[in-house]
């Protein structure tokens, strides 16, 4: 099997899972963006994905992403989503190539991204920020507690970033339904004060059905499409 066929199969099986999950919760596939997480995989895989119709890819390390994205032949046809924990000193670099940052979890990072957008001459609102929410047990993987979301949302809304909504990673040993249910509530509250912040980034290879059931608008799926990741270098 060629790499293209391998990725095509992975993509088809994930699309089928999304289609069924949508059917079960009475949602439309159009409401959901599939972000294929390409971390550790080469730029050539991104080109294959684009050929197969994918338009959004996710990366989680600046050092890897900034060189890889520049090598993608179809660069102008992809939307780049930064999904990993982000140090403030890498924010200026990420602001140059990312269209969406899913992991905004502190005011300092908002300020650093805001300056980065300005310096990179990106349009105001050209980079969308999602507030990463820490759901019980998920500490250490970034995110703010639900109670801190409103203040941070106001910071983002006052910056050059566009406030897109919320993101979470389900706790490793917890119940994904409970976690994504809680995230859906946090999103609902946020939309009370920021009606445009309607995105919910939730769900990965193992739990995307639960995320669709709880209103996810963005799924971040890696291994179920690309295969198991090579060991971390
Ligand atoms: C790697 C990663 C994913 C994708 O995980 P899979 O289990 O491979 O689907 C999603 N979200 C984040 C934040 C990641 O770092």
What's the mean pLDDT in 106-121?
A: 98
Going by CA atoms, what residue is nearest to atom 15 of ligand 1? 84
Asked if pLDDT for residue 233 goes beyond 80, the answer is: no
Q: Which pLDDT belongs to residue 136?
A: 73
**C-beta 38 within 6 A of ligand 1:** no
Please work out whether the CB of residue 60 comes within 6 Å of at least one atom of ligand 1: yes
Determine the Cα–Cα distance for residues 172 and 80; give it in Å rounded to an integer: 26
Nearest ligand 1 atom to alpha carbon 205: 9
Does the pLDDT at position 232 exceed 90? no
Q: What pLDDT, on a 0 to 100 scale, did the predictor assign at position 172?
A: 83
User: Which residues are 144's β-sheet partners?
Assistant: 133
| Res. 90: pLDDT tops 60 | yes
Indicate the top mutation candidate among 170, 205, 222 to test ligand 1's pocket, ranked by most ligand atoms within 8 A of CB. Answer: 222
Q: Cα of 34 to ligand 1 centre, how many Å?
A: 12
What distance in angstroms lies between residue 117's CA and the mean position of ligand 1's atoms? Answer: 25
What token pair was written down for 154?
Answer: 């106001």
* Cβ–ligand 1 contact at 84 (below 6 Å): yes
Q: Residue 140 — pLDDT band, cuts 50, 70, 90?
A: confident
- Are 56 and 83 spatial neighbours (Cβ–Cβ below 8 Å)? no
Residue 83 in contact with ligand 1 by CB distance below 6 A? yes
Res 174: pLDDT: 85
Higher confidence at residue 56 or residue 140?
A: 56
Which ligand 1 atom is the nearest neighbour of the CA of 206? Answer: 7
Kindly give the distance from the C-alpha atom of residue 20 to the centroid of ligand 1, in angstroms, as a whole number: 21
CA of 158 to the centre of ligand 1 (A): 29
Read off the tokens for 2.
Answer: 């060629």
Segment 181-207 mean pLDDT? 98
> Taking the C-alpha atoms of 50, 53, 59 and 63 in order, what is their torsion angle to the nearest 10 degrees?
10
Residue 179 has φ and ψ, to the nearest 5°, of -60, -50
Return the closest-CA partner of residue 6 out of 231, 228, 232, 166: 228
- pLDDT(104) > 80: yes
HSE of 67, CA atoms in CB hemisphere, 13 A: 5
Token representation of residue 87? 């140090």
* pLDDT at res. 31: 97
* Rounded average pLDDT over 52-58: 98
User: Does ligand 1 lie within 6 Å of residue 205's CB atom?
Assistant: yes
The pLDDT score that the predictor gives to residue 204 is 98
Q: What is the pLDDT, as a whole number, of residue 98?
A: 98
Of residues 78, 3, 90, 81, the one with CA closest to residue 42: 3
d(Cα 205, Cα 213) in Å, to the nearest integer? 15
From 81, 167, 220, the mutation candidate for ligand 1 (largest count of ligand atoms within 8 A of CB) is 220
Ligand 1 site, residue 223, Cβ cutoff 6 A:
yes
Q: Examine the pLDDT at 2 and tell me if it is beyond 60.
A: yes
Predicted local distance difference test score (pLDDT) of residue 149:
98
**Tokens linked to 11:** 């993509």
**21: CA distance to ligand 1 center in Å?**
19
């Amino acid at each position: 099997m060629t790499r293209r066929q391998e990725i095509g199969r992975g993509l088809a099986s994930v699309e089928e899972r999304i289609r069924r999950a949508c059917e079960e919760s009475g949602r439309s596939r159009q409401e959901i963006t599939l972000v294929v997480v390409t971390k550790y995989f080469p730029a050539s895989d991104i080109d294959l994905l684009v050929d197969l119709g994918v338009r959004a890819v996710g990366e989680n390390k600046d050092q890897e992403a900034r060189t890889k994205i520049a090598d993608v032949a179809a660069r102008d046809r992809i939307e780049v989503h930064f999904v990993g924990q982000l140090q403030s000193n890498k924010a200026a670099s990420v602001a140059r190539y990312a269209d969406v940052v899913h992991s905004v979890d502190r005011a300092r990072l908002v300020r650093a991204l805001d300056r980065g957008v300005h310096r990179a001459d990106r349009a105001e609102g050209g980079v969308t920020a999602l507030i990463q929410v820490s759901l019980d047990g998920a500490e250490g993987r970034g995110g703010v507690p639900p109670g801190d979301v409103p203040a941070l949302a106001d910071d983002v809304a006052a910056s050059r970033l566009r406030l897109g909504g919320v993101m979470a990673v389900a706790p490793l040993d917890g119940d994904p339904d409970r976690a994504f249910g809680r995230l859906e509530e946090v999103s609902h509250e946020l939309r009370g004060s920021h009606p445009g912040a309607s995105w919910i980034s939730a769900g990965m290879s193992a739990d995307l059905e639960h995320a669709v059931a709880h209103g996810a608008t963005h799924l971040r799926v890696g291994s179920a499409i690309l295969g198991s990741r090579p060991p971390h270098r």
